[in-house]
Structures are given as structure tokens and as C-alpha cells.
Amino acid sequence: MEKIYKSDFLVIGSGIAGLSYALKVADYGHVNIVTKSNGAESNTRYAQGGIAAVWSGEDSYEKHIHDTHIAGAGLCHNDAVEVLVNEGPERIKELIGLGVEFDKLQTATGDYDLAREGGHTEKRILHVRDLTGAAVEGILLKKASEHPNIQLFEKHYAVELITEHHVLNNLQSAFNICFGAYVLNEKNEQVIPFEAKFTMLATGGASRAFLHSTNPDIATGDGIAMANRAGVRIANMEFVQFHPTSLYDPGGESFLISEALRGHGGTLINGSGSRFMHEYDERAELAPRDIVARGIDTEMKKRREECVFLDMTHFDADEIKMRFPNIYQYCLKTIDLDITKEPIPVVPAAHYICGGIMTSLSGQTSMQNLFACGEVAHTGVHGANRLASNSLLEGLVFAHRAAEKAIRKQPRPFREVSIPLWDESGVYSQYEWYLIKHNFIEIRNIMWNYVGIVRSKEQLHRASRRMTVIYEEVESYYSKSKVTKELLELRNLTAVAYMIIKSALRRNESRGLHYMIDHPKKKDQFLKDTII
């Protein structure tokens, strides 16, 4: 058995939220970052469109705040939105200071090339061509690796939070306290306690719960599931954002076709080559995502077509190759399609979880010494539907605030506790990988078919019945099996899928991303968060 790792700060996850926080607290104590894949693997790395912030003279904080509220369909918390928007530009200046080179206009002024996306009334998206996430992740990771107080543990999977229920000396406490996390080292298959004064959950989203998703494999909702098991408050899990345009490539991997293409003037057309979004919303292709995704879904169902098309052929080919090199190359290589000559086949796919672990405006969760930040968190900024490119911004802004809080705070309790080692006595089997795989596929199909873009009570109940069986099966296997990454991911994804269904069943209205055919209108009595 390996030793216990101790640090002032434990960070779980190495995307924009975890790394930004780590870099800020590292001057005040030792930081251990655990991350379940390699350091760069994260949703952050795949972000294309960019980061929203008020930057130009024509824009204003009021406009960005207003756009965020409109997209959020009445559920955004105004204090959180104000923090996000007002503090955004300062955090972006810091990123630029670290070395992120956002694209500039080819003019003498050298101003940033601000893009527009759905739901934004102004151009305000800073980007690095269509590879913004990779540029940001690369710089943050480099800075973290250079910091003497930061130690990065790759292929280390956080299994459970260590809470007062685990500590040996039966600490009497009125509080729910976090002391770190049990972490599986994938190389030697040992689970090691990582003890820390403060723990930051920055584990990202859970959109892999759906058959079609823009997210990489890591997005299995681990942080939300761990927090839920530890009794931490979670909110608004019913609001799953489906991105309107992921590449339609049956059998292939999901790949995002950025909203920035529509922001650039790309048009959506159906199989007959006709534009259709005007029939669904006057803002057409630039309506907020929930509306565009539902418009596409309705159009596909109405016309019995498997996809719609995003047309960029009316632009100069060199301009498109220069502005969207990643998307251009990917389509050419994987489906042999030149996007400057032919429209791109697209379908909606699960993209972002608006709900998550409830936090204060400083990232504090309902558990002492435990912070959460980034996609895993519910700060209140996104309401019932996130405004495009507000997510990277949320990671930056609230990581900064959480760091400020953690630096100033004294952890509870004020005395040493004794952390027990991971106890594997009593486990006797290994959950077969093919069973895990089957369960994964089953969950992702259930969620796609019954808990997708358009929902109904009947379908949600059907999903709930099926998920109950899987939930019980997985928990039973977990209790008798040696833990593996695959089993842990299945367990967490099961829990998150269950939370999404249960939350959806509690909201008998349609609002933002949650659309119920049997309750097609907004209702004032549901103008509140769904809290688990």
C-alpha cells in the first residue's frame, strides 16, 4: 500500500477550472492535482468557438447580462450573472498575460477578432481560430507543470470524497466535512487517500450519458455523483444542453461543428436545400441553442430526414480554411467532405450539463472545505440554458473567486484527524468488462431515446423504470468488486443519469432546455431550481 498524500489544496480535474484554480492557490501552499486521463484530456481541450466577454466599445456589461438571462429562460441567478460578466474581461486579460494569443483582426488597429454566436446580440467571442480550448489548456498545463508547488498525478481517478464518516476517531461534528479524496492509481491499481485542507472538484460534465455527445470519454459526471453520495447539494440536472450542430457521421466519433460557423453567417438547410430556422424563431440560426436544437429536431422528424445541413459554401474558400482550419481538416479527412464546396451534414448532440453541484459565488459547496468549479458546478449563471461561450468564462471567473476564498479561509476542523486507508476486504469479484460495456450502451440509449431534446412524462417514467434496474445492479456489483476505472465510470454515469431523470420528472413545464410535450408552456410555480 502506498502512503497517504497530504497537501494544502487537492484539485480533482485538469481542465480550465481545475488548472486556473491550482495556479492561483499554488503561491499559498502545496497543490496536488489528480486527473483521470492524461493532463490535457478534458472538455476544455475540445472547445472550439471561444470565450465570451465584453470587449468592444459597442458592447456593454448590461447587454451581455441581458443575453445571458434571455438564453437562461428566467432561471439564471442575477448575482452570479453579474459576477460572470463584470469580472470576465479581467480574467481574460490574465489568460492573455499567461500567453494565450487570441486571434486579431488583420487591420492596423490590431483589435481582437471578436466573433458572434447564438443568443449574443453583439460580437464578443475571443477565439484562437476554431481551436480555442486546445490553446488555453496547453498554456495552463504548461504553467502548472512549471510551478514548484504543483504536483500533477495523471491516470489517477478520484473514487470518493473523504468525509467525516470515514475518519477513524469518530469526530463529533455538526458539519459535513471534506478531508480529501480516495484516488485510484491506474498503474498499480491501488486506492490511495489524498488528504487536503481544501478539496476542489473540477471534474467537468456528464454528457457521455447520452448516445450522441460532443464530449470526450472523460465526461462521465464523476464529481456530481461523488458529491451526491457524500450528501452535497446538487441542482437543475434536468437542463442538459444539446448542441444543435455536431457532425452527422453514423458509426464515427462525435465531432462538434462550432456555433461560430453560424455566427460567421452559415445557414441551416434541410434535405431540399431550403432554410428553415425562420419558421421556428425570428433570430433564425442565431437563436439560443435550445431553440435551434429543437428546430432541427422538429425539421428532421417532420421530413423524416436523418440530418440537416450547415451551409458555408457561399464564403470565400481561403477565408473558411483560415478561420476554421480544424473543422475544415476534420471533415476532409474523416468524411471526405470539403466544407467550402458542400454543405455539412449535422445533427444535435448532448453537449453540456447546466446543473451540477450547488455553490456560492465563491465556489463553496454545501460541504465544509469542499469547493466546486467549472462545468461540474451550479453557480446559477446558466439557468435553464447556457449562453454560448459562457462556460470557459465561468470556469475562469469562479476558479479565481474560489481561490481567493480558499487562500483566506481556515479549514475545519482545526485539529488533525486520522484518515483510514481504503478497505477492500470483502470484495471478491471483478465486474466483467463486457457487462460494463453493455450497461454503458444501455444507459446511453435510454437517455437519448427517452430523456432527449423533446420529453414526455410517459417516456421519463419508462427511462426511470429501466434506470432503477441498472442502478440496483451496478450498486450490487460495486459492493463486491475490486474497483476499476471502467466500473467507477459506469457507477457515476448511472447515478447522474438517474439524477437527470428524477429532476426532469419534477419539472412539469417547458423551460429552456427542458421541453415536455405534455406541459408545453412555462409555469410561474416552476420559476425555481430543482434541488437534490
Grid cell 459492493 is found at 479
Exposed/middle/buried for residue 448 (C-beta within 10 Å: 0-12, 13-18, 19+):
middle
Minimum Å gap between C-beta 238 and ligand FAD is 18
Which set of grid coordinates corresponds to residue 443? 444507459
Residue 326 contact partner, candidates ligand SIN, ligand FAD, none, CB within 5 to 8 A by sort of partner: none
Closest CA to 362 of 387, 379, 347, 346: 379
Minimum Å gap between C-beta 330 and ligand FAD is 11
17: contact with ligand FAD by CB under 6 A: yes
Q: Which is closer to ligand SIN, CB of 293 or CB of 487?
A: 293
Applying CB under 6 A, what is the total number of residues that bind ligand FAD? 43
43: contact with ligand FAD by CB under 6 A: yes
- Pick from 8, 160, 195, 222: which binds ligand FAD (CB under 6 A)? 222
Distance CA 122, CA 116 (A): 7
Q: Which is closer to ligand FAD, CB of 92 or CB of 470?
A: 92
Burial 339-357 (b: 16+ CB within 10 A, else e): bbeebbbbbbbbbbbbbbb
Helix (H, G, I), strand (E, B) or coil at 208: helix
Q: What DSSP string describes 235-251? A: E-TT-EEEEEEEE--TT
Alpha helices in 304-389 (DSSP H): 317-323, 325-335
Distance CA 446, CA 219 (A): 17
Q: Which is closer to ligand FAD, CB of 176 or CB of 254?
A: 254
* CB of 349 closer than 8 Å to CB of 337: no
Give the range of 46-54, 364-372, 444-452, 503-511 binding ligand FAD by CB under 6 A: 46-54
- Pick from 10, 12, 224, 467: which binds ligand FAD (CB under 6 A)? 12
Question: Within 10 A of 240 (CB to CB), how many other CB atoms are there?
Answer: 27
Residues that bind ligand SIN (CB under 6 A): 48-49, 258-260, 388-389, 391
Helix (H, G, I), strand (E, B) or coil at 278: helix
Minimum Å gap between C-beta 290 and ligand FAD is 16
Minimum Å gap between C-beta 258 and ligand FAD is 7
Which positions from 496 through 525 interact with ligand FAD, judged by CB under 6 A?
none
Which positions from 232 through 271 interact with ligand FAD, judged by CB under 6 A?
256
16: contact with ligand FAD by CB under 6 A: yes
Distance CA 12, CA 17 (A): 10
Q: Which amino acid is at 326?
A: N
118: contact with ligand FAD by CB under 6 A: no
What residues does 303 pair with on adjacent strands?
A: none
Give the range of 37-45, 300-308, 442-450, 476-484 binding ligand FAD by CB under 6 A: 37-45
Closest CA to 354 of 505, 212, 214, 234: 234
Closest CA to 95 of 24, 46, 28: 24
Decide the pairing of beta strands 240-247 and 344-353.
antiparallel
Which set of grid coordinates corresponds to residue 436? 460494463
Minimum Å gap between C-beta 505 and ligand FAD is 25
Residue span 350-369 as binding mask against ligand FAD, x where in contact by CB under 6 A, dash where not: --x-----------------
Which positions from 366 through 405 interact with ligand FAD, judged by CB under 6 A?
374-376, 389-392, 395
Question: Within 10 A of 65 (CB to CB), how many other CB atoms are there?
Answer: 18
Which are the catalytic amino acids?
289
Minimum Å gap between C-beta 14 and ligand FAD is 4
Q: Which is closer to ligand FAD, CB of 51 or CB of 95?
A: 51
Minimum Å gap between C-beta 461 and ligand SIN is 31
Helix (H, G, I), strand (E, B) or coil at 399: helix
Which set of grid coordinates corresponds to residue 309? 445541413
88: contact with ligand FAD by CB under 6 A: no
- Pick from 88, 180, 204, 356: which binds ligand FAD (CB under 6 A)? 204
348: contact with ligand FAD by CB under 6 A: no
- Pick from 21, 157, 330, 526: which binds ligand FAD (CB under 6 A)? 157
Which spans of this chain sit near ligand FAD (rule: CB under 6 A)?
12-18, 34-37, 41-44, 46-51, 132-133, 157-158, 202-205, 214-215, 218, 222, 256, 352, 374-376, 389-392, 395
